[in-house]
Structure 1
Amino acid sequence: MNEISLANPLFATYAIAASIMILKAVGMSWLTVLRMMQVKGGYRSPEDLRRTPLNPAPNPAQLQPDERVERIRRIQMNDLENLPFFLAAGFLYVLSEPSLVEARWVLYGYVVSRLLHFGAYLSARTHDTRATLWTIGSLLLVYMAGRVLVVALGG
């Protein structure tokens, strides 16, 4: 590869895909807080029951799990379980110098699969739907790692 620089279209493709995934993962924290504020519950820590301007009428029931909040937390946990693998595999994959067309299909394909997975999880689609979308992303990770191994081993 010529360089690890945003001037390099191959690396820029990775940087775009990685940035979208990072922003999506960070956005999940914001979505969790928004949902907790909407339902006035789903809090986890006892100190969250203190009277504040954002919680003027604390209630012990606010510490009970709320499915609307927990769903967002599960989505975020799924992101946190998958994003590090993508960031590492995607970076190494770019170092294997695939064609720009292939890299765009693979990296952006991963992003699309994760965004669709998010939509399916948020809208309570069946496990089969979520699993299918997760599998697409997972297979793309396997492909990236496999290509890196083949190229690194001189194949």
Structure 2
Amino acid sequence: MTALSLENPVFSTYLIVSALLVLKVMGQGWMTVYRMMKSQSGLASPEDVQRGPLNKAPHPGQIEINDYVDRSRRMHRNDLENIPAFWVAGLLFVTVGPPLWLAQILMYGFLAARLAHFLAYATKQTHELRATFYTIGSLIVIYMALHLLWVALS
């Protein structure tokens, strides 16, 4: 059995978590678009304030910051700053043959931390709560990277 095979349950775990995280990243982008369309504000660029089928009454105020839209944009940016590191570290982690139980705890743990971070951010919870979920996810990716270094240097 090769490490990057569906016969490897660690790789299957990685594929499941990675696919769900792809949906999370893409869904967050669509959530931002939905919020811009719903509020007709929070547009990102001056050229976005042009008359068209979806913006029948453009006005300069549409590019001003709108927290409803910008909160979603910040959540998306946070995903883009954190999830790619998981994709890289997680895939490399699969190749060193970790125990299935460890891979599942780490990978599903990262997914749970990102989802909890999303819920905390979306519902305007305290920074401390949001930072707790960020920290859990970050420590998981750091652990995987250190584990890779340990294996590579041993």
TM-score higher than 0.5: yes
Partner of 2:148: 148
Task: Please tell me whether the aligned partners of residues 41 and 63 of structure 1 are also in contact (alpha carbons under 8 angstroms).
Answer: yes
Q: How many residues align?
A: 154
Question: Which residue matches 2:64?
Answer: 64
TM-score, with structure 2 as normaliser: 0.95
Q: Write the distance in 2 (CA, Å) between the matches of 1:127 and 1:52.
A: 39
Aligned pair 1:3/2:3, yes or no? yes
Partner of 2:17: 17
Partner of 1:106: 106
| Unaligned 5+ runs, structure 2 | none
2:78 counterpart residue number = 78
CA distance in 2 between counterparts of 1:3 and 1:133 reads 30
Give the distance between the partners of 2:147 and 2:77, measured in 1 at CA: 27
Q: Which amino acid aligns with 2:77?
A: M
- Kindly state the Cα deviation for residue 6 of structure 1 after the two structures are TM-superposed: 2.2
Q: Percent identity?
A: 48
Distance in 1 (alpha carbons) for counterparts of 2:143 and 2:47:
46
Cα distance in 2 for residues equivalent to 1:88 and 1:2: 18
Structure 1 residue 84, shift from structure 2 partner: 1.5
Structure 1 length-normalised TM: 0.95
Residue aligning to 1:35: 35
- The runs of 4+ residues in structure 1 deviating greater than 6 Å are none
Asked if the contact 2:3–2:97 (Cα under 8 Å) also holds between the matched residues in 1, the reply is no
Instruction: Summarize deviations over 1:90-141 as a string: whole Å, max 9, x none.
Output: 0111112111111111101000000100110111111000010001001111
Mapped to 2, the partners of 1:105 and 1:74 lie a distance apart of 27
Question: 2:51, 2:58 within 8 Å by CA — same for their partners in 1?
Answer: yes
3-state SS of the aligned residue for 2:21? Answer: helix
Deviates more, 1:43-52 or 1:83-92: 43-52
Which sections of structure 1, spanning at least 5 residues, go unmatched? Answer: none
